[in-house]
C-alpha cells in the first residue's frame, strides 16, 4: 500500500498483541493501529488525521492492511470515481493472496455478492435500475401513514407503564415493521425477525442461522409474488424488465431490509438520545426554531448510522489524499470522520441546519437509494412519539448510557425513559366527520365595555310596523351591552334618523352575525 516501512504484512513481521491496558495495546506491525481494538474510534480518527492527513493506513482483524479515508473531499472523490475505485472485493490483494480467511470476522461485509452495491458497469446499471424503479413506486403519503400507525402500535405496548426502553421497545422495532410492510410481508414482522436481524449484524455464533431465517422469509415472499404480484416493492422488483432471477430478487430484498433496518434503528436511537440529553437541542425543537426533520438531519451529521462502510478497492495505482494507493488496496469509506473534517466543518459542534452535504448515505453510483424512506421513518417516528409522551425524560444518568461499537457503526444498547402513563390509542379509527361544536362567545372583552367619548348615546329601537321584517335580532351577551341600553334592531349602517352608527354598534352587529 504505500512504502513497505508503513505496511509490514509478511509473516515474519507479526508479533503477539500487547495485553489490554498496555500503552502498545491496539498497535500492530509497522506501528499501525488496529481499528477493532481501539477503545475510542472517534479519537483515533482525529489522531490519524493529525499524523497522516486525510487518508491513513490502519489494520483490520488478523492485521489485514487497509486505508481509512478521513477527508470529506477525498471520500467524495473515491465514491464518485468508479474508473479508479470499485466495490468488487475480488480485486482486493489480501483476499486474492489468502491473507483474508473464509472465517474472517468481516467476511460477511467483504464477500462479493451478485447485488447492485457490489456490481459495476452494465451489470450495475441493470440491477440498480430495477431497485430504483421499485423505489419510485412507493407512495410516500401512504408510507407516512404506515409509519404513523406502526409508531402508535409500538407506543401502545408500553404507554400505560410510564417506563420504557426506547431502543429495545421502539427504535429496533419501528424500521422492521415499516420495511416488512413496504416489501409486502407484514405478516412476517414479529419479535423473531427483529432478533434475527440484530443477531446477524452482531456477527455472533448464531449469525448464520439468523441470516438463513431472514432469507427464508424473503424467498417465500419472492415465490408468492412470482405467482401472484401485488402493488408492493417486491412485486415491482420481480416484474421489472431487467429480469432479475429469484436469487437476485431475494438478495436485493435482504440488502434493502437489513441496510434500512440497521441505519434507521441507529438514526432513531441517536436522535431520541440527543433530544433527551441535550436541553438546548430539545428547547429548539419545542420552541419551533428546529423541526423534527432538521433534528434528524443534524443527527446524520453528528452521529451517522454507519460510521464507516467496508469497502472500496483500487482498480489501478493512483493517489488519494497525498498517499500512494496501489492496485488491489482496500479503503474504508470514512463517513463519521468525513462529517467532522475541519476543512469542511472547523467547529464540529456547529449547527448544520439545512445542509445535506454529509456522507451518511454515501454518494456516487452506490448512494443509498432508500434514504428518503429512512428519513421518513425517523421524522414521523420521533414526532409521533414525542407527541404521545410529551413529558418523556431519561430514566438514568447520561453517563450510564452504553454503546456497542464496531468498525462499521456505533449502536446504543438501551435508552431507558420515564413519563406520565398514557392510555392506549385506537390506531385503526377513521377521522371523524362530526362537526365540532360552535364555541360560545367570549364573555369579557375589555374593548366592548368601554364607550367611545365621541359616540352618541344609543337610542331605543323604533316599534316595528306592519311592514317591518319579522326577523328578531339575537340579543347581545349581557356584559357587551352597557346598563340601560337596549339592543338595536336597525338593519342598515345608519340609525333610525340616518345618523352613522358608532364603533360599538357596528361591533355588536358583527358579533350578532347580521
- pLDDT, tens digit, 9 for 90 and up, residues 366-405: 998 889 999 999 999 999 999 999 999 999 999 999 998 8
Q: Where are the beta strands (DSSP E) in 271-396?
A: 308-314, 318-320, 323-325, 330-334, 393-394
Across 52-80, average pLDDT: 96
Q: What are phi and psi of 160, to 5 degrees?
A: -85, -10
For residue 179, the tally of other CB atoms under 10 A from its CB is 27
Is the pLDDT higher at 250 or at 504?
250
pLDDT of residue 284: 87
Is the pLDDT higher at 217 or at 202?
217
420-454 pLDDT, tens digit per residue, is: 999 999 877 665 555 555 555 544 444 333 444 44
494 pLDDT more than 50? no
506 pLDDT more than 90? no
pLDDT of residue 102: 84
Cell of 40: 475510542
Is the pLDDT higher at 357 or at 435?
357
Residues 78, 314: contact at Cβ < 8 Å? no
Question: What percent of the chain stands above pLDDT 90?
Answer: 60
pLDDT of residue 302: 93
pLDDT of residue 130: 94
Q: Name the pLDDT band for 476 (thresholds 50, 70, 90).
A: very low
Across 120-139, average pLDDT: 93
Q: Name the pLDDT band for 286 (thresholds 50, 70, 90).
A: confident
pTM of the predicted protein model: 0.76
Is the pLDDT higher at 226 or at 112?
226
Q: Name the pLDDT band for 345 (thresholds 50, 70, 90).
A: very high
Contacts of 60 (CB under 8 A, 6+ apart): 34, 35, 36, 66, 106, 407
Residues 282, 275: contact at Cβ < 8 Å? yes
Average pLDDT along the chain: 82
Is the pLDDT higher at 301 or at 470?
301
Amino acid at each position: 500500500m504505500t512504502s513497505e516501512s508503513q505496511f509490514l504484512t509478511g509473516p515474519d513481521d507479526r508479533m503477539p498483541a500487547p495485553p489490554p491496558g498496555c500503552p502498545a495495546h491496539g498497535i500492530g506491525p509497522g506501528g499501525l493501529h488496529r481499528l477493532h481494538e481501539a477503545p475510542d474510534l472517534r479519537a483515533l480518527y482525529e489522531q490519524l488525521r493529525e499524523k497522516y492527513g486525510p487518508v491513513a493506513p490502519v489494520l483490520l482483524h488478523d492485521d489485514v492492511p487497509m486505508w481509512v479515508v478521513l477527508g470529506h473531499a477525498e471520500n467524495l472523490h473515491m465514491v464518485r470515481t468508479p474508473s479508479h475505485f470499485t466495490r468488487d472485493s475480488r480485486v482486493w490483494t489480501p483476499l486474492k493472496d489468502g491473507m483474508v480467511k473464509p472465517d474472517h470476522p468481516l467476511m460477511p461485509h467483504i464477500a462479493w455478492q451478485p447485488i447492485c452495491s457490489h456490481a459495476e458497469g452494465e451489470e450495475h446499471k441493470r440491477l440498480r435500475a430495477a431497485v430504483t424503479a421499485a423505489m419510485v413506486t412507493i407512495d410516500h403519503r401512504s408510507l407516512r401513514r404506515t409509519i404513523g400507525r406502526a409508531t402508535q402500535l409500538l407506543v401502545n405496548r408500553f404507554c400505560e407503564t410510564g417506563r420504557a426502553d426506547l431502543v429495545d421497545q421502539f427504535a429496533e422495532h419501528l424500521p422492521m415493521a415499516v420495511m416488512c410492510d413496504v416489501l409486502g410481508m407484514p405478516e412476517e414482522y414479529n419479535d423473531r425477525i427483529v432478533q434475527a436481524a440484530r443477531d446477524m449484524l452482531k456477527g455472533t455464533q448464531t449469525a448464520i442461522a439468523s441470516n438463513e431465517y431472514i432469507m427464508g422469509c424473503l424467498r417465500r415472499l419472492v415465490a408468492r409474488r412470482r405467482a401472484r404480484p401485488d402493488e408492493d416493492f417486491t412485486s415491482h422488483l420481480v416484474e421489472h424488465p431487467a429480469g432479475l432471477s429469484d436469487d437476485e430478487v431475494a438478495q436485493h430484498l435482504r440488502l434493502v431490509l437489513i441496510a434500512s433496518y440497521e441505519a434507521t434503528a441507529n438514526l432513531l436511537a441517536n436522535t431520541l438520545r440527543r433530544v433527551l440529553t441535550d436541553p438546548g437541542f430539545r428547547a429548539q425543537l419545542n420552541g419551533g426554531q428546529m423541526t423534527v426533520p432538521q433534528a434528524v438531519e443534524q443527527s446524520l451529521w453528528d452521529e451517522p448510522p454507519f460510521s464507516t462502510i467496508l469497502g472500496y478497492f483500487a482498480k489501478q495505482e493512483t493517489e488519494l489524499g497525498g498517499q500512494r494507493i496501489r492496485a488491489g488496496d482496500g479503503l474504508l469509506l470514512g463517513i463519521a470522520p468525513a462529517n467532522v473534517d475541519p476543512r469542511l466543518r472547523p467547529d464540529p459542534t456547529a449547527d448544520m441546519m439545512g445542509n445535506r452535504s454529509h456522507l451518511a448515505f454515501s454518494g456516487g453510483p452506490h448512494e443509498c437509494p432508500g434514504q428518503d424512506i429512512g428519513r421518513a421513518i425517523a421524522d414521523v417516528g420521533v414526532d409521533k412519539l414525542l407527541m404521545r409522551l410529551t413529558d418523556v425524560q431519561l430514566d438514568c444518568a447520561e453517563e450510564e448510557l452504553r454503546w456497542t461499537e464496531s468498525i462499521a457503526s456505533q449502536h446504543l444498547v438501551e435508552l431507558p425513559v420515564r413519563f406520565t402513563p398514557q392510555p392506549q390509542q385506537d390506531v385503526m379509527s377513521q377521522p371523524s366527520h362530526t362537526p365540532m361544536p360552535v364555541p360560545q362567545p367570549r364573555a369579557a372583552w375589555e374593548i366592548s365595555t368601554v364607550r367611545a367619548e365621541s359616540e352618541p348615546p344609543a337610542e331605543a329601537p323604533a316599534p316595528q310596523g306592519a311592514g317591518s321584517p319579522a326577523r328578531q335580532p339575537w340579543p347581545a351577551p349581557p356584559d357587551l351591552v352597557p346598563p340601560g341600553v337596549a339592543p338595536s334592531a336597525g338593519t342598515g349602517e345608519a340609525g333610525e334618523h340616518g345618523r352613522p352608527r358608532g364603533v360599538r354598534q357596528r361591533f355588536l352587529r358583527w358579533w350578532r352575525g347580521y
